[in-house]
Amino acid sequence: MQRTATFLWHLVPTATLAIALALVSPGVLRAQDAGTTSETIAGVTPPRRIVISLTERRLHLLEEGRPPRSFPVAIGRPGVAIPLGDSRVLRKRRNPIWHPTANQRRENPALPVAVPPGPSNPLGKFALDLGWTAIAIHGTNEPDSVGRRASGGCFRMLPADIAVLFEMVPVGTPVRVVSGSAVLPSPQPAVAVAAATSSPPIPAPPPKVAPPLPILPDPRCATAGAPLRRMICTVPDLAALDGRARGLHQRHLAALPAERRDAAAYALLQEERRFDDRITARCWVRRGMEEDPAVAAAAEACLRDALSVRLEEAKRR
């Protein structure tokens, strides 16, 4: 049976939202995908496994004897069915080609027959096809969607994260999707090794404790007039997310050489303006309506997602 792939391209008014869906059947690769990576499942249990938590919107890579690694993911948007339970990686594709379906091309004749690898490809540079019909773990050309409910059922990762995962997991790696928080293995206790001499053991140095994330308040809060900015300033958890991102940005600037600091500060200012534009478009609240409980709850959830993604980006800077 021929292995086929179906991908769905969805356009929204403010930006092109690519929703990539990979349909996998246990056969040979299509001729178009002959250059992609394909490995045979040899019946040996892989040393790694993947757990995806829908509640956390995170993918956890587990490996025996090593601490878990965790990455943010985009999950299915509201109203989209998301698979739960166990599957595995059936195929790995490097620089995948996106092929619109016949229905998509009938609905939008402007769609190309195929999108080659490149910045316009909704799958990014890497794709891991799973055993569920039309579900894959892949990159994206819309990194702002990662950490949100934005996909058509697949699991999107940031370009740098999917590159790491692609190299670490082989075909056959088990994948489990859970609706709640992921249950991760406890750290293995250190094993004491007896000294070869009668000298007293050297005490282990105390564990290093990571310094708390600095929180830098927004200086605009005293005069904020826009409903969304006032909400960020006055809701404690939103203010903390925003303040931690600002603190990390400030710490990043302080670590730069003096000759690079001005340019980096200007780039961060431009980034903050783009962020404000994004939340204005996505989390819009009509002035005077923020007192409505339903409106406020929806806006706060939207802002919490956007600020969480911004904080993760600041940590990786």
Residue 8 pLDDT exceeds 80: no
239 and 131 inside one domain: no
Residue 194 lies in a domain: no
| CATH number of domain containing 166 | 2.40.440.10
Entry field: residues in the chain: 317
Residue 217 lies in a domain: no
Residue 227 pLDDT exceeds 60: yes
Residue 165 pLDDT exceeds 60: yes
Considering only 117-121, 204-208, 294-298, 303-307, which range has the smallest mean pLDDT? 204-208
70, 84 Cβ separation under 8 angstroms: no
Q: What is the pLDDT of residue 198?
A: 54
pLDDT tens, residue by residue, 57-79? 999 999 888 888 999 999 988 88
Residue 19 pLDDT exceeds 50: no
CA 305, CA 307: separation in Å to the nearest integer? 6
Residue 84 lies in a domain: yes
With cut-offs at 50, 70 and 90, classify the pLDDT of residue 39. Answer: very low
Residue 263 lies in a domain: yes
Residue 114 lies in a domain: yes
Considering only 124-128, 153-157, 245-249, which range has the smallest mean pLDDT? 245-249
Q: What is the pLDDT of residue 192?
A: 46
Q: Which residue among 119, 152, 178 closes a domain?
A: 178
Q: Which residue among 146, 178, 210 closes a domain?
A: 178
10 part of the active site: no
Residue 284 lies in a domain: yes
For the chain, how many structural domains are there in total?
2
55 and 128 inside one domain: yes
Q: pTM here?
A: 0.47
235 and 308 inside one domain: yes
Q: What is the pLDDT of residue 3?
A: 40
The share of the chain scoring above pLDDT 70, in percent, equals: 75
Helix 227-234 / helix 258-282 crossing angle, nearest 10 deg? 110
132 and 253 inside one domain: no
Mean pLDDT of 83-100: 89
231 and 155 inside one domain: no
Kindly give, in sequence order, each residue whose CB lies less than 8 Å from that of residue 306, ignoring residues fewer than 6 positions away. Answer: 275, 278, 279, 282, 283
Print the domain residue range for 271.
Answer: 227-316
Q: What is the pLDDT of residue 20?
A: 39
249 part of the active site: no
55 and 125 inside one domain: yes
Catalytic residue among 60, 154, 283, 302: 154
Indicate the burial class of 279 (C-beta count within 10 angstroms; 0-12, 13-18, 19 or more). buried
Residue 36 lies in a domain: no
Residue 213 lies in a domain: no
159 and 232 inside one domain: no
37, 30 Cβ separation under 8 angstroms: no
Indicate the burial class of 210 (C-beta count within 10 angstroms; 0-12, 13-18, 19 or more). exposed
168 and 236 inside one domain: no
Catalytic residue among 10, 60, 99, 138: 138
